[in-house]
Structure 1
Amino acid sequence: MSQVLCSSRLPERWNGWIGEEGGLKLSPRSVGEKIVALFPKTPLVDKLEVAGPGFINISLSKDYIIRILTETLRSGVRPPPLDKRLRVVVDFSSPNIAKEMHVGHLRSTIIGESVCRLLEFLGHDVVRVNHVGDWGTQFGMLIAHLQDTFPNYLKESPPIEDLQAFYKESKKRFDDEPEFKKRAYECVVKLQSFEPESTKAWNMICDVSRKEFQKVYERLDITITEKGESFYQSRMVTIVQELESKGLLIYDEGRKVMFGREQDIPFTIVKSDGGFTYDTSDMATIKYRIEEEKADWLIYITDAGQATHFVVLQHCAKKAGIFDPKKVRFDHVGFGVVLGEDKKKFKTRSGETVRLVELLDE
């Protein structure tokens, strides 16, 4: 099959078509006729013709397609020769612990699985990563609520059947009860210092979520390995120290921020209260994936609304000397969100996010 190289530069023999101001000297139809005349011959194309004011109609060769399909049916689909086997880290699905997977997770999960299968078919070494949200201040209220609701949790596993309802109950108490809110913050501090009782409660909550996630993955035939935000906690401390030592952090109203480029939105590396953010986590994560997992190619699969975040991530990681685009490929595969009739994120009539399990049941 012939390969036609695409270029934004016109060949020298086409220069006579362009005027000094960049406009065409010829009519669109005349340009179309010249393109057809210069188009390289290939067995895939049966006929090229100009139609109307300058459209080019391409008719594919039925005989060629039949021959290729017949050969494929006889020999099977074979990948092209692989110049170099790459280690590819694909970050997809990534739901939040203590919350059920919703309809919005379906696209990331299916697209991610498809990308992984294609890359594996081509012969690459693919690492499938589920970067779950398993850390953060919300776990303080969940742990405090668990301790109140199941005071015997250290001796026997609490029978949490509906984690979504459990989350809502703890959130309501957090919003309505000042004393509970205070205890929730204390639980966060204990968890971050890996106090045994808080850590056990956190593990129990995570286990309930994992079991529910796994049911969905099994139904969808998804293979993925969990490596959530908690995995990078110690590495976040290290990345902050590294960025500070390189003089890359700027103080801004109590925060420590980093600019990848002057025109970029800054990454908040350390909050005014001393806590870390998703930005900190992603900087620690990209460093780990490049330096420890030896990734040649990084692929992040999320909704398109996060596109700017990943552009800034590349700029900051490059500025920090972590990411070299000449050595490591970086791709963000963005997709649109699922919208309802009101053109907003798809929800049930009661305003709740549509649970993925219910969608699959339908």
Structure 2
Amino acid sequence: MTTRIESPATTVAGTVAHAIAEVLGLDPAGVDPVIRPSQFTDLQSNAALSLGPVHGLRPRDLAQRVVDRIPTDGPIAHAETAGPGYLNLELSTDWIAEQLSSLSIAERHDATGRRIVIDYSSPNVAKEMHVGHLRTTVVGDALARMLEWSGHTVIRQNHIGDWGTPFGMLIEHSLDLGRGSAELDRMAEDPNAFYRAARAKFDASPAFAERARRRVVLLQAGDAPTLALWTELVDASKAYFRKVYGSLDVSLTDEDLAGESSYNDELAGICADVEALGLARVSDGALCAFPEGFIGRDGAPAPLIIRKRDGGYGYATTDLATIRYRAAVLRADQAVYVIGEPQATHLEMVWAVAREAGWLPSSTETVHVRIGNVVGADNKLLRTRSGDGFTLAGLVDEAYRRAAEATDREHAIEDDDERERAARAVAIGAIKYADLAVPHDTGYMFDLDRMLAPVGNTGPYLQYAVTRVRAVFSHPRAAGHDPNATIVLDTPEARALALLLLEFDATARAAGEAFEPHRLCALLHQVAKRFAAFYDAVPILTASPTQRDARLRLCRQTEAVLVRGLDLLGITAPRRM
């Protein structure tokens, strides 16, 4: 069994709540002590500011009466009032050291029994993944890792675009090329080339376009030869996806694929059911649902098109089948969608119809993790553009090239394989961290120079902090130290670092539950900064043997927190940089 380690704030909250309850004659369970970090002391309680007037007391007087009831022989070493009614709390340094000495970072927390289905990445077959896909992939993968680590059962769903009208032209183009075509084989390297060629023929040749339309009908009717050709295209794209995910160290596999085609056989039934339930009606030739509360620009109820005028199905139909499957078959307690901000209204309408239809029970919570845009140096949306180096693969390769140059220039690594691994880890870590370090619903500028900077709130800065810790242990003077030495916090820098390390477990769990990986990034960055201050201010290897061992133990706990935290973000910490 793994222990869920509470933050120092949570640990002392119960003590303060009991003291407040004693003064006011309340049930401690109903008292929020409002514990916050403070720039003047370790922690601060602001509860007296709101509770005092309610109970006819001056906030400062209430704060003082609470101080008089707080024991100072445990986690809290000193308590005092400040300002109009703040309650300042100083933690026991010995308690901090004891807690950190016994700290064990969980490999994975015990199972919670909670099932979370998370939809992310979702590229299209026969198309290059662009930077927008990069962000949904990186954020989604970090959340999947964080939630699994917290003990939840996480079911990844990669809802790829593998169905629909474009496949008519793609299949006909593959037939024109012939089986075993080199162009089809190159889809694993450059899927856009195949798609562009098919599109050009579709636009230029009415005869080809007509063939493509007929092929779509055959595909949707389940024609066996057509399905075989479609499978070849999908398999070629799967090879491309595997290559991209492998290069980014993303945990998605072929087993996680759940494309649009998965639900094709259910779509007619979806339409029949919503119509029979009275949730949809024919409007202007299309079958539409009008969920309550959604208004169009003209002020009229906004339609969700379930079946198009031509009898075809769109995203709404597939998405209804998808959420029904995730609730009923995958038994999701939470259905999480990591997709772009502009899809918010569409998702809300789909979920509203699904709830009205009884397919989405109240026991299944839906969450849209809204992904903001990525812009280039010109402040315009960054997308895949032919010939200008903005393909996803091109950006990753350029990051690797720059990381390799920096590694060779600043920290020569003799072994070729290790040098390549280090440069790759730094490049991928830099790109991922830039995505994760900002709130997922805000945009950011894709700037490789900033991402790869060895200082600041960047992936390389955190990775370098890990290599710095490890360098201490590789020094001959670290030989023979006691790995189980009790931590002694005899300097302000050591104490500040230790206090921050105790926040890791709770912060990482809370960041996952809130779907906010940037909160974990912020903590890890602070840990790296605190370690740098400790490293620069305190002798470690030249200290007395007792001090050396205590400080090395603090270093080891720092390494454990940074490595585990980076791993939860999907970032590798190289041995050397």
TM-score exceeds 0.5: yes
1:313 to 338, 350, 353: 350
- 2:62, 2:375 → 1: CA distance? 42
- 2:76, 2:359 → 1: CA distance? 45
Q: Which residue of 1 aligns with 2:266?
A: 235
1:174 aligns with 2:202: yes
Q: Mark the CA change 1:353 to 1:103 in structure 2 (over 3 Å): closer, same or farther.
A: farther
Alignment of 1:297-308 (within 5 A): 297-308=334-345
- 1:263, 1:280 → 2: CA distance? 18
- 2:122, 2:260 → 1: CA distance? 10
Letter in 2 for 1:243: V
Alignment of 1:147-158 (within 5 A): 147-150=175-178, 153=179, 156=180
- 1:243, 1:139 → 2: CA distance? 28
- 1:283, 1:127 → 2: CA distance? 18
- 2:86, 2:181 → 1: CA distance? 68
Letter in 2 for 1:244: E
- 2:119, 2:276 → 1: CA distance? 29
Deviation at 1:176, TM superposition (A): 2.0
Q: Which residue of 1 aligns with 2:222?
A: 194
Q: Mark the CA change 1:44 to 1:78 in structure 2 (over 3 Å): closer, same or farther.
A: farther
- Flag the structure with larger Rg: 2
Q: Which residue of 1 aligns with 2:313?
A: 276
1:118 aligns with 2:146: yes
- 1:193, 1:201 → 2: CA distance? 14
Residues 298-348 of structure 1: CA deviation (Å, up to 9, x unaligned):
1111122212222222211111111123x1121111121111233321147
1:339 to 371, 375, 379: 375
Do the aligned residues in 2 keep the contact of 1:258 with 1:266 (CA within 8 Å)?
Answer: yes
Deviates more, 1:180-189 or 1:345-354: 345-354
- 1:345, 1:55 → 2: CA distance? 49
Letter in 1 for 2:377: E
1:77 aligns with 2:113: no
Q: Which residue of 2 aligns with 1:143?
A: 171
Do the aligned residues in 2 keep the contact of 1:347 with 1:353 (CA within 8 Å)?
Answer: no
1:107 aligns with 2:113: no
Q: Mark the CA change 1:11 to 1:169 in structure 2 (over 3 Å): closer, same or farther.
A: same
Q: Which residue of 2 aligns with 1:21?
A: none
Q: Which residue of 2 aligns with 1:247?
A: 278
Residues 3-48 of structure 1: CA deviation (Å, up to 9, x unaligned):
58769xx97754489xxxxxxxxxxxx98x6897679979589778
Do the aligned residues in 1 keep the contact of 2:119 with 2:337 (CA within 8 Å)?
Answer: yes
- The number of aligned residues is 340
1:96 to 124, 141, 144: 124
> Which sections of structure 2, spanning at least 5 residues, go unmatched?
1-10, 15-30, 34-48, 296-301, 400-577
Q: Which residue of 1 aligns with 2:391?
A: 355
- 2:210, 2:241 → 1: CA distance? 31
- 1:172, 1:56 → 2: CA distance? 70
Q: Which residue of 2 aligns with 1:291?
A: 328
> Which sections of structure 1, spanning at least 5 residues, go unmatched?
18-29
Do the aligned residues in 1 keep the contact of 2:119 with 2:156 (CA within 8 Å)?
Answer: yes
TM-score by length of 2: 0.53
Deviation at 1:135, TM superposition (A): 0.3
Do the aligned residues in 2 keep the contact of 1:157 with 1:204 (CA within 8 Å)?
Answer: no
- 1:275, 1:304 → 2: CA distance? 26
Deviation at 1:196, TM superposition (A): 2.2
Q: Mark the CA change 1:107 to 1:178 in structure 2 (over 3 Å): closer, same or farther.
A: same
Do the aligned residues in 1 keep the contact of 2:355 with 2:361 (CA within 8 Å)?
Answer: yes
- 2:370, 2:239 → 1: CA distance? 28
Do the aligned residues in 2 keep the contact of 1:88 with 1:298 (CA within 8 Å)?
Answer: yes
Residues 191-229 of structure 1: CA deviation (Å, up to 9, x unaligned):
111212221221111111100100111222323310100
Do the aligned residues in 2 keep the contact of 1:250 with 1:257 (CA within 8 Å)?
Answer: yes
